[in-house]
Structure 1
Amino acid sequence: MIFSNVRERVKSEWLLVAFATLSIVLAIVDPRPLADYQRWLQLSTLAGLLGLLIAIQGIRDSGLVQRLAAVLLARAHSLRVVGVLLICLTAVLSMVLTNDVSLFLIVPLTLAIGRISNLPVLRVVVLEALAVNAGSTLTPIGNPQNLLLWQYVRVPFLHFVAVMLPVFLTMFALVLLVTWFWLPKGRVEMKPEHLDGHPVSVSQAALSLVALALMVVMMDHGHAVLSAALLIVPFALFDWRLLARIDWMLLLTFAAIFLGLGHFANLSWVQAALDHIDLSKPLNLYVSGILGSQLISNVPATVLLMEHAPDAMALAVAVNVGGFGGAIGSLANLIALRLANQPGGMKVLHQVSVPFLLVCAPLVYVVWRYVG
């Protein structure tokens, strides 16, 4: 019985097990100073993620998400219309709140809608993952790789937006196309027996929304650890049950991913391989950014290629496209699947996202190089 439970746990947390194993193996065969591991762990990112989890759990517990779901369904009668509204809202939020924060807001809303209607939740969540990758491409604050490159190249905000606009429009048009043809066109069917009848806790909803806003602002100013501490201490004292409901395994999974991929990207043979690639050629840089994202995710790929690439904006295009395809291409994909917690989520994501990348990559390259 014990071994069966362990086996099921390992199966459900296979991503954590895989990257924890990679981290341990690399630490044995290629030991590094403690400072390297501390840098790869990205404590500020993990602290920011924890703060977001706390704030969003408070919003869920307040009943606000359930109320918003009912309001939205009352005004939209087509499944396609509901899907398009959610996809558009996801993309817009990702431009200003970052892709991860957008998912923490939208996926719980999608799940709430799915509980009271016939909305195909998994399909919509997969589309939302595509939408945040597309929407966050537009602005320098939309995702971590854009923020990193924006600070590195130091171009004006509007210049960054102007360069990325044709790329975003191409991506988002494809997302809307997939949304329209993949979602069923039938009417929304409500499930009254699943409607959550308890009232919204206005005070808890307000406090949680304020906590979310403060968390985003503090993260933007580099104080994620302090902000997370300011959230977790009062909850630990007065509402520890909320903390118990947080997905702590998600935090461990991201810690393992950061350690494993950070170490891998700094292996000597990986660095040596980069020296043999002429990244001054746009196509070489474009393909390298996409392939690097598929192997080690787009943020580590950005860090890996940034100092080797003569054109930082071209690299931004490449790694944003690289967020599609495999789930590891963008950490937003993993967050969406984890928040949704739907059976077969990884399989469905790849069935859509991999063909999407194969179509999107050449199309974006043509638009970026010859049209935009």
Structure 2
Amino acid sequence: MFLLKKLGEEMEHTSSELGNQSLWAKIWQFFVVDKVFLVSFIIALNAMVFGQAHFTTRFFDWKVIATVFGLMLVIGGFRESGLLRYIGESMVSKSKTTRQLVRFTTNLTFFLAVFFTNDLTILTMLPLYLYITKHVENRKSVYWGASFIVPACHMGSTLLPFGNPHNLYVYNFFHLSSNNMAFFKGTVPMWIAGFIVLNLACFLIDKDPIHVDTKPKDFNIVEVVVFVALMVLMATSVFTKVAIGGINFYWIAAGITSLIVFLYKRELFKSADYHLILTFMCFFIIVGNLVDIEQITTFVSNLASSPQGAFLGTVLISQVISNISSAVLMSPFTTHGVAVILGADVGGVGMLTASMATLIAYKVISVQGRSEIAGYAKYFAICMVAFLVVLTAIGLVIVSII
């Protein structure tokens, strides 16, 4: 895949450069390479200054940190196995019209995101889509199709607690494992509604005949079996409160996963998103200090006193500081956990800053579709705004009913 090869070359070049840099230069590079982490770090420092000026861990959620890290390793394993690429190429190779291709791509993205998170799904499906549509004459339909992949990821990952990091955080923060029905009463309707809206949007695509020239490449069966087993292990740790020998099962699951990956494919540790874990920690510190500022506590608590307010507040804050950060920020100030989850899921669609997945998608388009960036950017922007408005309206109805 062109983009993955390009990114790999850039990472190798960056690693080579870093090897010749001073320690301070490496530290600076680590901070500025991920803007979401950088902003969260700066906010955390300010929160400590204006809050109680202390490093507090009272809102640290170690289950989320351990589980997210374990899932990162597992998802990295699936990426290396080639399974997702094989599934994607197998499906799109059967497309006979542009509309069918877009529908296949959108629906496959939607269902893959249930298990494989937004980032990996986008990095698999979007480059593949852009590659196979580069000779399609109807560019308007191609632009629409590329844009649909982003909301498809966000809506697909809504269904399960481990579909994305903010779902997992809120699920654990509100102890929804003791009442899974409350969680699914919110996420299932949103998931179904997202599926319907995406498929209705596909009618915007013309039915021009096309020929997709791609052959599915083989994947590593052994690796798939290993990482399916580890995925089941990590998923079990999300839904259970079991402790063995006084050790919580999520630590055991993360430890077993880390050990197997270290023995079997240790290079996956290099590809884990450590910035995401540190971003979580920064916002744990932020919340721990802000809850001591009465004015902020009163304002946010009043905003999130109703499920509609918690939902809308999370959607709007997501547009500024990303959906993961908004979920962590809103959770301590409301009792409506499911509304926060749905707000973060919907809020990931919209501005480029709304989620890392949206930002990744735009970067992919900028690299692989740079010669047509104006066309892609136009329809990308229209699509994000339209889906944000429609899904926000649907979300308000759902949180009002449940």
Q: Same fold (TM over 0.5)?
A: yes
Taking a change above 3 Å as real, the CA distance of residues 314 and 43 of structure 1, as seen in their structure-2 partners, is closer
Does residue 89 of the first structure (1) align with residue 108 of the second (2)? Answer: yes
**Equivalent position of 2:242 in the other structure:** none
**Equivalent position of 1:234 in the other structure:** 264
Length-normalised TM-score, structure 2: 0.66
CA distance in 2, matches of 1:270, 1:338: 38
Taking a change above 3 Å as real, the CA distance of residues 155 and 177 of structure 1, as seen in their structure-2 partners, is farther
Taking a change above 3 Å as real, the CA distance of residues 324 and 67 of structure 1, as seen in their structure-2 partners, is closer
CA distance in 1, matches of 2:87, 2:116: 21
Q: Secondary structure at the match of 2:343?
A: helix
**Equivalent position of 2:10 in the other structure:** none
**Equivalent position of 2:41 in the other structure:** 23
CA distance in 2, matches of 1:167, 1:122: 25
Bigger mean CA offset, 32-41 vs 20-29: 32-41
Does residue 80 of the first structure (1) align with residue 108 of the second (2)? Answer: no
**Is this contact kept in 2: 1:127–1:175, CA < 8 A?**
yes
Superposed CA RMSD: 4.3
**Equivalent position of 1:132 in the other structure:** 153
Q: How far off is 1:85 after superposition?
A: 2.0
CA distance in 2, matches of 1:18, 1:156: 32
**Is this contact kept in 2: 1:91–1:132, CA < 8 A?**
yes
Taking a change above 3 Å as real, the CA distance of residues 24 and 66 of structure 1, as seen in their structure-2 partners, is closer
Q: Secondary structure at the match of 1:33?
A: coil
> Can you list the C-alpha shifts for 1:280-339, whole angstroms capped at 9, x where unaligned?
234332322222333333334333333321333333333332222234434443555567
Taking a change above 3 Å as real, the CA distance of residues 355 and 160 of structure 1, as seen in their structure-2 partners, is same
> Can you list the C-alpha shifts for 1:92-137, whole angstroms capped at 9, x where unaligned?
3444x2634xx53574255345435547887545423211322333
Bigger mean CA offset, 84-93 vs 34-43: 34-43
**Equivalent position of 1:162 in the other structure:** 185
**Is this contact kept in 2: 1:107–1:125, CA < 8 A?**
no
Q: Secondary structure at the match of 1:280?
A: coil
Q: How far off is 1:206 after superposition?
A: 0.7
CA distance in 1, matches of 2:89, 2:165: 33
CA distance in 1, matches of 2:285, 2:381: 26
**Equivalent position of 2:131 in the other structure:** 115
Q: Number of aligned pairs?
A: 342
CA distance in 1, matches of 2:378, 2:45: 31
**Is this contact kept in 2: 1:297–1:329, CA < 8 A?**
yes
1:142-161 map, 5 Å: 142-151=163-172, 152-154=175-177, 156-161=179-184
1:202-351 map, 5 Å: 205-220=220-235, 221=237, 222=250, 223-236=253-266, 248=271, 251-255=273-277, 257-268=279-290, 272=294, 273-276=296-299, 277-278=301-302, 279-334=304-359, 336=361, 342=368, 343=370, 349-351=380-382
> Can you list the C-alpha shifts for 1:137-189, whole angstroms capped at 9, x where unaligned?
344454444444445245643453334444333333332333432x4542333
Q: Secondary structure at the match of 1:75?
A: coil
CA distance in 2, matches of 1:130, 1:83: 13
Taking a change above 3 Å as real, the CA distance of residues 207 and 169 of structure 1, as seen in their structure-2 partners, is same
Bigger mean CA offset, 289-298 vs 110-119: 110-119
**174, 177, 201: which one pairs with 1:178?**
201
Q: How far off is 1:368 after superposition?
A: 4.4
Q: Secondary structure at the match of 2:334?
A: coil
For structure 1, which runs of at least 5 residues remain unmatched after alignment? none
**335, 356, 364: which one pairs with 2:395?**
364
CA distance in 2, matches of 1:334, 1:127: 14
**Equivalent position of 2:25 in the other structure:** none
CA distance in 2, matches of 1:32, 1:348: 46
Matched to 1:92, the amino acid is F
